[in-house]
Each structure stands twice: as structure tokens, then as C-alpha cells.
């Protein structure tokens, strides 16, 4: 890998022309297609009840978001990823500004401060933060790679960046994204060559804090503490906190080996509240069964594996780390979502990539897929030139 320092791009270098990684694109489009089908199946009853009888409310909007996302994916797949590196500081400033703005200007949805209202739609800055943290740390590590084993460069500075992001997102009452941002950052620190002893100490401290708050949930804000209590004590359920989780588990169990069949879920009929969002995987399990759910998990695993392979082949350290950050985001988000749906961890509210309803999340996710394809184009372009 080349050192990813600051580089001045020529106009001719802004766009790339090499062939992209076809298996990675195919896996992404397959997951998107299955996700749209399952979103319609999971959402039409809820949409009919909550959107004046319009069963197509969620899927019609998601299809529009998918088209916009695919356009973004195509453009970013043609854009040299080094342009993103050059825009690191503006991207960081915009993201931090939005994370601050949402704390004072936001929708009033169940006490959460996550969405900025923009007329008929909303924007979730934390979705952008997932990408930005990867860009910022990939750029930082690529510039200071040979000093990453030092305490200041390899531990203090990266932790400060991660802490700022996590702190702002925690103030939004978005615990799951706070955890996800930390995991993305920790993954990049590990991949970037941080001193393993310092890294292990840091992980140990975080693990100790996690155990402390689980044992003493009153240390957290009320919204997070209540969810931990409801997870630990199955009979503790103020405001029906256990309702969604219990019905999710019932849906998973009802699916059996091969499922009840596409469209035949019973739990989506207002038992699993908002089945189009965080708990859509429980409807997948109910309708497609263990076999169908395992197949989807396999597809996610193959997508992450293929992305990591693209990162390993990238000769540029920034590009390699950026792809690893995106793959860490997708991989950890899938794992956390499934753990929430199966009651393995507290219900923190985290979407399933490609499946859960959400315009900001889907457009940015497909944009990130485009970035990975851009890196793969540069890899293939290098191979084609050498031949």
C-alpha cells in the first residue's frame, strides 16, 4: 500500500474507468431486491392502518429512495475515491454541524432527537456520521500510519474523534448508532496498526463500562436504562417495552424451518409494532423460515467478505481503510439488528441494511456501495494497465 498522504488531483483523475467488482455489485443488488420485497410484505398491513388505507405507502416511497440511491451509487462508483479524501474536512464539518443541529431542531417522535424535518421528508444525520467516521479515520490513519503505534497518534487522537461522534449521537437518544460508531472506529484503529496493548486496554475499559451500566442501568438516561431493565427482567414492562420484542420472538418461532410463506405473516398485523423498521427481520424469519433467514445472513456475509477482499487488493491505504470501515458498518449493523430482534441484547433501535424502511439510510448505504465499487475500479484499472 502507498502512504495515503495529501495529494493534488488532476481534473483527469476525478473520474475512474476501470471495470468494477461484479460479484460485489450482484450481491448488493440481490440484497436490495429481497429487501424491497420483504419491506412490502412486512409493511402493507401497517401502512393500510396508519396511512388512510394506502397499503403501498412505505414501499412506494422506498422505491423512490432506492432509485435515488442507485443513481448515487452509479455516480460514486465512477468518482475517484481520492476526491472523497480531499473533501474530508468539509465532510467532517458538515456532519458535526448536522449532529449539533438535530439536537435543537428535530421531529418529536417518542422523545428521540434523531431526525431533522425537511418538509415532507426527514434527514437522519447519524446515518451520514457512519460514513464520515470512516472517511475521517481512514484519512487520519493513512497520513500518520507510521506513527500509529505511538500513544498520542495511535490512541489519543483517534479516541477523541470517536468520542465526539459518539457523544453527539448519544445525546440524540440513539444508543445503537452510538455503539455502531464506536465499533467502526475501533475496527479502523485495529486495522490501522494501533498498538495492540493500548487497543486491548481501551477495549477492556469499554467492556467494563458496559458491564457497569448493565448492572446499574440507572446510570444511563431514562430511555436507555428502561430498555436495559426490560431486557434483564422479562416481567418489567412499563409502556409495553417488551411488547415488540416478545412478538418478535413469537414471529421467529412461528416461522419454523421453511416459514409460513411470503406474505403470510400474522405478527405483522399490528403485533410487531412498525414491522417495516428495526424488527423487519422477525417478519423475514416468520415468512421465510430458518432456511430463508440463513440464506439472507449468508448473502450479508458474502458481501462483507467480498468487500474486505476489495480492501486487501487496494494499493492505497486510504481506499483500503475506507472500504474496511464501510464493511465494518454493514457487518456490525446486521449483527446488532439480529441480536436485538432475537433479544440477545437490549432493544436499542437499529435498522437492517437494505431491508428496513428509511430514505436517508438507504440512499447513503447505496452511495457507500458506490464508493466500494470505485475502489474496485481503481484496483482493476491498475491490473489492466499492468497487463
At residue 15 the predicted structure's pLDDT band, cuts being 50, 70 and 90, is confident
Residue 3, pLDDT above cutoff 60: no
74 pLDDT higher than 90: yes
Q: Give the chain's mean pLDDT.
A: 88
pLDDT: which is higher, 299 or 8: 299
Between 376 and 6, name the one with better pLDDT: 376
Contact between 386 and 92 under an 8 Å Cβ cutoff? The reply is no
Q: Is the pLDDT of residue 6 over 60?
A: no
Written as one string, the DSSP assignment of 243-301 is: HHHHHHHHHHHHHTTT-S-TT--STTTTTSSSTTTTTHHHHHHHHHHHHHHHHHHHHHH
pLDDT per residue as tens digits for the range 181-226: 999 999 999 999 888 888 788 888 888 887 887 777 766 666 667 7
Q: CA 299 to CA 132: how far, in whole Å?
A: 25
Between 6 and 371, where is the model more confident? 371
Give the domain ranges of the chain: 18-386
Q: Is the pLDDT of residue 387 over 60?
A: no
Measured at the CA of 258, the angle between CA 252 and CA 263, to 5 degrees, comes to 70
pLDDT tens-digit map of 291-328 = 999 999 999 999 999 999 999 999 899 999 999 999 99
- pLDDT, position 5: 47
87: nearest Cα among 9, 202, 173, 156: 9
Quick one: pLDDT at residue 1?
A: 43
Cell numbers describing residue 288: 421465510
Confidence (pLDDT) at 8:
64
50 near 336, Cβ under 8 Å? Answer: no
pLDDT at 381: 62
pLDDT for 37: 97
Q: What is the DSSP letter of 56?
A: T
Amino acid at each position: 500500500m502507498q502512504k495515503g498522504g495529501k495529494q493534488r488531483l488532476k481534473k483527469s483523475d476525478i473520474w475512474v474507468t476501470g471495470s468494477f467488482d461484479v460479484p460485489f455489485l450482484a450481491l448488493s443488488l440481490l440484497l436490495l431486491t429481497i429487501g424491497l420485497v420483504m419491506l412490502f410484505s412486512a409493511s402493507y398491513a401497517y401502512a393500510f392502518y396508519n396511512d388512510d388505507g394506502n397499503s403501498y405507502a412505505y414501499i412506494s416511497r422506498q422505491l423512490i429512495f432506492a432509485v435515488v440511491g442507485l443513481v448515487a451509487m452509479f455516480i460514486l462508483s465512477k468518482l475517484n475515491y481520492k476526491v472523497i479524501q480531499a473533501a474530508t474536512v468539509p465532510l467532517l464539518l458538515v456532519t458535526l454541524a448536522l449532529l449539533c443541529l438535530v439536537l435543537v431542531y428535530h421531529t418529536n417522535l417518542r422523545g428521540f432527537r434523531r431526525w431533522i424535518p425537511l418538509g415532507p421528508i426527514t434527514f437522519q444525520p447519524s446515518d451520514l456520521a457512519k460514513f464520515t467516521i470512516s472517511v475521517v479515520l481512514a484519512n487520519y490513519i493513512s497520513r500518520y500510519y507510521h506513527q500509529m503505534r505511538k500513544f498520542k497518534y495511535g490512541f489519543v487522537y483517534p479516541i477523541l474523534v470517536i468520542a465526539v461522534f459518539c457523544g453527539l449521537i448519544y445525546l440524540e437518544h440513539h444508543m445503537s448508532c452510538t455503539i455502531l460508531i464506536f465499533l467502526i472506529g475501533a475496527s479502523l484503529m485495529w486495522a490501522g496498526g494501533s498498538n495492540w496493548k493500548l487497543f486491548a486496554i481501551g477495549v477492556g475499559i469499554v467492556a467494563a463500562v458496559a458491564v457497569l451500566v448493565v448492572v446499574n442501568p440507572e446510570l444511563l438516561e431514562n430511555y436507555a436504562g428502561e430498555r436495559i431493565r426490560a431486557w434483564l427482567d422479562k416481567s418489567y414492562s412499563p409502556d409495553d417495552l417488551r411488547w415488540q420484542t416478545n412478538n418478535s420472538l413469537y414471529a421467529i418461532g412461528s416461522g419454523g424451518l421453511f416459514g409460513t410463506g411470503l406474505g403470510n405473516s400474522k405478527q405483522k398485523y399490528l403485533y410487531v409494532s412498525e414491522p417495516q423498521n428495526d424488527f423487519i427481520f422477525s417478519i423475514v424469519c416468520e415468512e421465510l423460515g430458518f432456511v430463508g433467514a440463513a440464506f439472507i445472513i449468508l448473502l450479508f456475509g458474502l458481501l462483507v467478505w467480498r468487500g474486505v477482499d476489495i480492501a486487501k487488493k487496494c494499493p492505497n491505504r486510504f481506499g483500503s481503510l475506507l472500504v474496511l470501515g464501510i464493511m465494518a458498518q454493514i457487518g456490525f449493523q446486521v449483527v446488532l439488528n439480529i441480536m436485538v430482534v432475537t433479544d440477545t441484547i437490549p432493544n436499542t433501535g437499529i435498522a437492517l441494511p437494505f431491508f428496513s424502511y428509511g430514505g436517508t439510510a438507504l440512499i447513503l448505504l447505496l452511495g457507500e456501495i458506490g464508493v466500494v465499487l470505485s475502489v474496485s475500479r481503481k484496483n482493476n484499472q491498475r491490473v489492466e494497465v499492468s497487463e
